[in-house]
Structure 1
Amino acid sequence: MDFAWSDRQRDLYERTLAGVRLSFPDDKSAPAAFFSRDDWRVLGELGLLGASVPEGYGGGGLGALDTALMMEALGRGCSHTGLVFAASAHLFACAMPIADFGSEKMRVGVLPGMCAGDLVAGNAMTEPGAGSDVARLAVTAERADGGWVLNGHKSFVSNGPVADVYVTYATTDEKAGHLGVTAFVVDREADGVVPGDPLEKMGLSQCPAGGVRFVDCFVRDEQVIGEPGQGGWIFQHSMGWERSCLFAGYLGLADRVLDQCVEHARGRRQFGRRIASFQAISHRLAEMKLRVESARLLLYRACWELDQGGQATVYTPLSKLAVSEGVLASALDAVRLFGGRGYLRPDGIEAALRDTVPAVIFSGTSDIQRELIAKELGL
């Protein structure tokens, strides 16, 4: 059992981190605007939008663990966590279902643009009545000559307001439960696709999110990902990628915030002493380090499982739970450690807190992860 990175992995991480820091200089006090197309193409040039996509379709051909290392470097080097999240959702929830289950024509037609940063993808799954319960989708797809007709409303689509393509899921047989869900790729310009305005969110401000409505939207048979009825399985497969690799970006954020806290504790003086000399401060920093290193081990194990050809096992929900809850607790600790400065914008600590709150909600809430772990235990 070897816990060390190889020279190649170390070089991959360092090159990505250097490229991210050069491309996205840290300006914590800048107003949080949505990412630009230029930002997106830079991510494509750095290989971050297609890291795990096969090389033949414009990707990097990396496995889950190496992809996670790149996302970890992105999260550490870029303080715009909304951009980190947008890129990860694009890759893991949209590109990977197409790469793993799409037809050759679909892969050739869509993936090169997604990897290069020419296309932005949005994952359209969540509905007003279907968040955690994804087997009961109100959006329907009815059979038509040569394809399907989609109708219904997706309520929360990351990248939705600016997406060029949507990976969406619809009920094609309501009597079949999760076996009656089908996955589709839908072009933004298709008749009957109505993107909504950006939602006002607590955090992840650089990532625009909004609803999308399908009104008698015709999609051809060749736009089905996999086979009709496989949508539930395809979505859960993408969640294996997302719950593992996406949260590597939050490991990077946790490292970045911990670095800031250590630097602050060494330089800040109260009562004639550096605050790092107070046990209340040093122990808080020790707990932050414990959380991130424990979560890192679980995330790497989950990625290793994917690379061995396995499916989502107990390590995937364990990893997602440990990273999301740990980074949220550490961000709150960082605010406390910085005191009044932590509540102000210039240091970026309050932004880190706001950006970590949704981590315990999306990709399955923390309670859903606990349910998955309980099922793995046979409960």
Structure 2
Amino acid sequence: MDFSWNKTQLALKEKVIQFAQTLNDNLVERDKQGLFSREQWQKCADFGILKLYLPTIYGGDNYDLLTAVLAMEAFGYGCRDNGLVLALNEHIWCIQQPFLIFASEEQKQKYLPAFCSGELICTQAISEESAGSDALNMQTTAQKVTGGYLLNGKKSYISLAPVAELSLVFAKTNLQAAQWGISLFLVENNATGCTPIPRDKMGTRTNPLGDLVFEDCFVPEANRIGREGIGVSVFSQTMDWERSFILASYVGAMAYQLEQSVHYAKNRQQYGEPIGNYQSVSNRIADMKSRLEIARLLLYKQAWQKQNQKLNLMDAAITNLHISESFLQSSLDAVRIHGGRGYLSEFGIERDLRDAVGSVIYAGTSDIQRNIIAKLLGKRIKS
């Protein structure tokens, strides 16, 4: 594995950083109000963020996976809006990637260019109130009727649900087939019988979250993705991509945190000397640097493995676990290093901490990642 970057890749990284830095205006106010900016989304689409890792035939730029991951890391370094950052990563890895793998050619030609251009936003609807980590225990059903299906049920904790035009919805088409009876549907969020319900949350507030309630919502058969019963395969592959790369931009955010913390520790003086001279502060900075470098190596390794068709479910879980826990701890360290300044909303340091909490929940909680790792090691502990 060679993680050195060529001039073209480094030029792209710098270009992405410079663009991402233009997206930070009025962020404190947008965060307070929980406002999603369609204008910012469109700017990202026009720049090319949403088409990095898609074939040119569908409107993409066809970058290799390592380069795309580097670009998303750079985006997280430049853009302070972690809600927008998360939403874009969700769209790239949890919507466009499974669409590319499982959708029909006709569906790809119809929707992927619209995703790339920013014309359409799609969300992923798996979780339910009683089916979070145990997502395959979902209760939402899709009953076969003439020309399509009737969806009934409720999906919860769905990013972008209040603003997206479409949703990839997992539902049971065969109640007797357990997890093998799950199918996947592309649903229009303004369809009769589909009701998005916004919900408030702690962090990543510019990425609106909500529920989707289905009451005899008709979905044409042409909007089924793949054959009936393929849902578990889509879910498994989607979660692998999600765990591997959904936090790629947070590695960039950690690099920005570190730089800001080092700068502050050098310039903030107490008792006649920089606070960075005190071991309690310098140790936190050393820990932040160590977490960052390990996170980078795990992220790049996983991208290299995926690029070379080397499936490694354990490494995906390890990558997600380390980056999420590291971002949370480094965000707390950044607040403590900055003291009272870190606690004030106007400087954006505390916002990273609020945003980081969600990272240890989505794509499977940290506890679930540990269970996956232990199970794959053959040492799962049972109560």
**CA shift at 1:26, angstroms?**
5.6
Instruction: Return structure 1 stretches of 4+ with deviation > 6 angstroms.
Output: none
1:126 partner SS: coil
Residue 299 in structure 1 maps to residue 304 in structure 2: no
Is the contact made by 1:71 and 1:246 (CA closer than 8 Å) also made in structure 2? no
Post-superposition shift, 1:243? Answer: 1.4
SS of the aligned residue for 1:376 comes to helix
Separation of aligned partners in 2, 1:27 and 1:282: 32
In the TM superposition, residue 288 of structure 1 has moved relative to its aligned partner by: 0.3
Match of 2:336 in 1: 336
1:170–1:312 distance in 2 versus 1, CA, 3 Å? farther
Answering whether residue 136 of structure 2 is matched by residue 135 of structure 1, we say yes
Once the two structures are superposed, residues 101-150 of structure 1 have per-residue CA deviations (whole angstroms, 9 ceiling, x without a partner) of 10111111111111111111111111011001111111001111222211
Pairwise CA distance, 1:63: 3.3
Unpaired stretches in structure 2, ≥5 consecutive residues = none
Paired residue secondary structure (2:204)? coil
- In structure 1, the residue matched to 2:151 is 150
Which residue number in structure 1 is paired with residue 258 of structure 2? 258
Secondary structure of the corresponding residue to residue 136 of structure 2: coil
Distance in 1 of aligned mates of 2:180 and 2:54: 26
Aligned identity (percent) is: 40
Q: Structure 2-normalised TM-score?
A: 0.95
Spell out, residue by residue over 1:207-254, the C-alpha distance to the aligned partner (whole angstroms, 9 max, x if none).
Answer: 011001111111122211122111111122112222122111110111
Shift of 1:65: 2.1
Alignment-derived partner of residue 204 in structure 2: 204
Contact 2:48/2:116 (CA < 8 Å) preserved in 1? yes
> How far did residue 291 of structure 1 move?
0.4
Query: What is the letter of the counterpart of residue 24 of structure 1?
Result: L
1:230 is aligned to: 230
Q: Deviations over 1:294-350 (max 9, x none)?
A: 111111111111111233421100100000001101101111111111110122110
Query: Is the deviation greater in 43-52 or in 23-32?
Result: 23-32
Give matches, 1:231-246, under 5 Å.
231-246=231-246
Q: How does 1:1-379 map to 2 (within 5 A)?
A: 1-21=1-21, 23-25=22-24, 29-32=28-31, 33-196=34-197, 198-379=198-379
- Secondary structure at 2:347's aligned position in 1? coil
Structure 2 CA distance, aligned partners of 1:27 and 1:122?
Answer: 25
**Number of aligned pairs?**
377
SS of structure 1 residue aligned to 2:35: coil
TM-score by length of 1: 0.96
Residue ranges of structure 1 left out of the alignment (5+ in a row): none
| CA-atom RMSD in angstroms | 1.4
Q: Mark the CA change 1:26 to 1:322 in structure 2 (over 3 Å): closer, same or farther.
A: farther
Q: Which amino acid aligns with 1:90?
A: H
